[in-house]
Amino acid sequence: MFKGFKSFEFKISIFAIMKNFYAPLLFALLMAACTEEDDALSTTVANIPSFYGVAPSSSPISTDALFFKDISYGTNERNRLDLFLPNKGPIEGIVILFHGGSFQFGSKEDFYGEELNNILTTVLDNKIGIANAEYSLITEPHSSGVFTSLTDGSQVINFIRENSTALDLPKNKLILAGVSAGAGIALWNGFREETNSEVKGIVGLYAQSTYDINKWEAIFPDFNLDSIKEVNSEIRDLYTQFYGGEYTAEKAMDLDFLSEIDADDPTLYLYNPVYKDEVISEGILDLDVLFHSFKHADLLRKKTTEVGLECSGAYQELPQEFIERILIDQ
């Protein structure tokens, strides 16, 4: 009995020694791991003001993420983006956002309303950063039509890619996302080999299927572009602005991202909740149907099925769930 007690006493002593030795070591290792994450984030915070002259400021949404406003990514006045970085590293990926507005208006601040707040905060809570970009409008003097807006999107992608190492951002884990016109920027860049090499997913909300607008006549039986242009000078002028002058087959081919889709492209997510397919209502052109009808999404889904590309949507998952699945779970 005494011998057993001593054995137990010995084990307790050994345990105490091990505890006294390993506990501080384990604590130090845990602290070192945390410090590595914090150091990585600190490097990012330190680099941004020195690279772009921008210091962290108050966030426009309910989040504890770091917020950097109006970082310039190009030479035009609207070539600026807001950057959100999760306050704990490592960052799992980056979502690049493009706002809507028919390429005539809109701003990155449109994303900070209550309707989209939950998507942004959920993404940030999952350690995914957000770059929210503005771009040139077709109404601006320097614009060459929608092509200028689309290539501004390319500049944003290149900006994130080129500065990813210096800013400790994962350059090969990008998702392009947009609403309406912004969805078009995401789709056009996401389906082009020149810009999609590091893009893992595309989110298109209220998206169009192609920017060869003449092809929309096949989508909407009551849509006759020439007839509408004859009686509606506003549409005629918008059409000219959109193409930066006259419509040509070469321009249309460059803008037809539907024809660019293949099996090697990033996974697609679509949400077009305008469940109408008649664009003329009581003699008036319904632009919401023309731009955002489910028919556009159906055409994109049909093409992804034909080529064997995964396409998700609201019936399968929420946008933030799609983003998490593509950037973290895969």
The pTM of this model reads 0.87
Task: Supply the pLDDT for residue 171.
Answer: 77
Mean pLDDT for the chain overall: 87
E strands, the chain, are: 66-72, 80-85, 93-98, 128-133, 174-179, 199-205, 267-271, 280-281, 284-285, 311-313
Question: Using one digit for the tens of pLDDT, what is the confidence trace for 7-49?
Answer: 323 233 333 333 343 334 333 333 344 445 555 565 566 667 7
- Encoded amino acid at 247, one letter: Y
230 forms beta bridges with none
Do 265 and 186 contact (CB within 8 A), yes or no?
no
pLDDT attached to residue 18: 35
Percent of the chain with pLDDT over 90: 73
Report the alpha-carbon distance of residue 206 to residue 186 in Å, rounded: 12
Return the CATH number of the domain spanning residue range 58-329: 3.40.50.1820
The helix/strand/coil state of 172 is coil
* Residue carrying the six token digits 């990585």: 40
Q: What is the Cα–Cα distance from 88 to 90, expressed in whole angstroms?
A: 7
pLDDT of residue 45: 65
Question: Is pLDDT at 2 greater than 80 in this prediction?
Answer: no
Task: Give the burial class of 306: count Cβ atoms within 10 A of its Cβ; 0-12 exposed, 13-18 middle, 19 or more buried.
Answer: exposed
Pairwise CA distance, residues 55 & 5, whole Å: 65
pLDDT tier, 254 (very low <50, low <70, confident <90, very high otherwise): very high
Sign for the pseudo-dihedral over CA of 116, 275, 146, 305: positive
pLDDT at 44: 64
Which range has the worst mean pLDDT, 120-124, 234-238, 274-278, 306-310? Answer: 234-238
Distance, in Å, from the CA atom of 135 to the CA atom of 195, rounded to the nearest integer, reads 16
* pLDDT of the residue at 31: 37
Supply 143's token pair.
């614009």
Residues near 213 by Cβ (< 8 Å), separated by ≥ 6?
225, 239, 242
- In the block, tokens 């192609």 appear at 210
34 C-beta neighbours (distance < 10 Å), count: 12
CB 186 within 8 A of CB 106: no
